[in-house]
Amino acid sequence: MMKKWLPRAALAMIAASFLVLSFSLVEIATAGSKAAVAIDPPSGKKATVITITGTGFAPQEEVDVVITLGPGQRVGLGTEKVEMIVTDDQGGFSVPSAIPMNAKPGTYPIDVEGSKGSVFSTSIVVTE
């Protein structure tokens, strides 16, 4: 009787492990597709205070917010005292920042990358 139970238990354990792994992989693969980021205001002069708000990221995900001012000029955005931005339990965040002082007039990409695979890109317009 013990011999019949052992293979069934092992098979059930393998099936359960596969099911859990499948759900985990689906969450990772779709986390980035739900992400959204808004910059308020969407344009302004250098040093203009902005608020960066994100939704749809994974809960408790560390995110980097970076503006690219030119080749090799990636500048992190967020408050001065924040070493990392972490989303809340619903996958959202809101941080104050400012348009960098060395930004010239133009449109610049802002990339938000999460530690759990969430990604979103937007842009900001710097005026004179």
Domain ranges of the chain: 1-31, 35-126
Per-residue pLDDT tens, the chain, 128 aa: give them: 555 555 555 445 444 444 333 333 333 333 445 899 999 999 999 999 999 999 999 999 999 999 999 998 888 886 555 568 999 999 999 999 999 999 999 999 999 999 999 999 999 999 99
- In CATH, the number for domain 35-126 is 2.60.40.1930
pTM, rounded to two decimals: 0.69
- Phi and psi (nearest 5°) for 107? -105, 130
- Phi and psi (nearest 5°) for 48? -65, 130
